[in-house]
Amino acid sequence: MHTETVEEWSVETFWILVLRAMSYRLECVLYRTLRELYRAGGGEHLMHRALQKQQNAMLELDTIIDRIMLYDLVSSCPLSV
């Protein structure tokens, strides 16, 4: 599932982007939940680390959405992305 190996994006090949977008979205939810748990438990260092990982996942998700828009594949994308 490497996006770098795809030479031409089309409706047949963009499923890789959809799967990666869904993965990063779930990762964002996971780290948001961890941050809330660490905040309640007083784990300041762990909360900060979860925040960094959440921000990284959000950046990756934004990059994937930009790529989907760049190759005009938005109409083929599921609404969950």
**Is residue 9 in a domain?**
no
Residue 6 lies in a domain: no
Mutual angle of helices 44-70 and 15-41, in 10-degree steps: 160
Q: Does any domain span residue 67?
A: yes
Contact by Cβ (8 Å): 36, 54: no
**Nearest-angstrom CA–CA distance, 9 and 47:** 38
Query: Does any domain span residue 63?
Result: yes
Q: How many folded domains does the chain comprise?
A: 1
Instruction: Please give the single-letter amino acid code of residue 65.
Output: I
Task: Write the pLDDT tens digit of every residue in 18-73.
Answer: 999 999 999 999 999 999 999 888 888 999 999 999 999 999 999 999 988 988 88
Q: For residue 34, what are the domain limits?
A: 14-76
Q: 34-40 — which CB contacts under 8 Å span 24+ positions?
A: none
End-to-end CA distance of the chain: 17
